[in-house]
């Protein structure tokens, strides 16, 4: 993830930016509503962004033009919903591109789409399904963070494969190659991210109970 600056062809970079833009707008409106109706959750909102920033900054070289790292977006998706993480993810990616040379401005739309949109939505869906089926909270959080992370890298593999299909086997061959390389580092990182997210949620349930009670997470998921 974090496709580097200038790596994608201009048309691909522009297309992913256009695809991500409506989600960013919807997420900004969602954040404005949450902060207006539940002002005491602002610190928790900031902590979710900081969690994603720190984890996603721990990069390991992987596919050419990209890298492997935890995403940290599952936590915010569980607490606030996936729309919020679109904006937080965009902020995280922008700061890392400008301050850490991690990612890029031209590839920001593509990176937001994978890490800020697909990953959080998958994490949120997995979390809801796990709780609906009666799974324990810790397992639901673990699975949400795990599959949200892996989904991010699945989309990144698709993005790179679309831009650089294999000369012989085309898109399918390139996708298999890129996903296979990512898997070597990303599967263990996703497991670690899942476990770490469980630890953080357990801590929040003990020390930020008042803030969590203002969120749907506390109303349903923690019972």
Residues in the chain: 223
The pLDDT value recorded for residue 223 is 44
- SS3 breakdown of the chain: % helix, strand, coil, rounded to 5? 75, 0, 20
| pLDDT attached to residue 196 | 96
Residue 60 contacts residue 181 (beta carbons within 8 Å): no
pLDDT tens-digit series, residues 90-108? 999 999 999 888 888 999 9
DSSP-assigned beta bridge partners for residue 68? 60
| pTM reported for the whole predicted model | 0.90
Distances from the Cα of 115 to the Cαs of 4, 39, 77, 176, 209, in angstroms? Answer: 14, 26, 11, 20, 28
What pLDDT, on the 0 to 100 scale, is given for residue 219? 42
Q: What are the residue ranges in the chain where pLDDT is below 50?
A: 218-223
DSSP 137: H
Domains of the chain: 10-215 (1.10.1760.20)
Whole-angstrom Cα Rg for the chain: 17
């Amino acid at each position: 993830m974090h496709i580097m600056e200038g790596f994608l062809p201009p048309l691909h970079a522009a297309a992913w930016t256009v695809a991500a833009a409506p989600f960013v707008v919807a997420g900004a409106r969602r954040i404005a509503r949450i902060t207006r109706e539940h002002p005491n959750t602002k610190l928790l909102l900031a902590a979710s962004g900081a969690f994603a920033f720190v984890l996603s900054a721990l990069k390991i070289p992987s596919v050419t033009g990209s890298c492997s790292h935890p995403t940290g977006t599952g936590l915010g998706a569980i607490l606030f919903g996936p729309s919020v993480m679109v904006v937080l993810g965009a902020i995280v990616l922008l700061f890392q591109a400008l301050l850490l040379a991690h990612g890029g401005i031209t590839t920001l739309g593509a990176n937001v789409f994978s890490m800020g949109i697909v990953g959080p939505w998958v994490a949120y869906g997995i979390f809801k399904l796990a709780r609906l089926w009666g799974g324990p909270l810790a397992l639901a959080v673990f699975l949400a963070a795990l599959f949200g992370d892996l989904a991010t890298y699945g989309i990144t593999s698709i993005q790179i494969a679309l831009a650089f299909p294999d000369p012989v086997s085309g898109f399918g061959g390139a996708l298999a190659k890129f996903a296979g390389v990512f898997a070597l580092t990303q599967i263990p990182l996703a497991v670690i991210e899942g476990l770490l997210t469980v630890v953080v949620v357990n801590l929040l349930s003990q020390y930020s109970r008042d803030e969590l009670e203002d969120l749907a997470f506390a109303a349903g998921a923690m019972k």
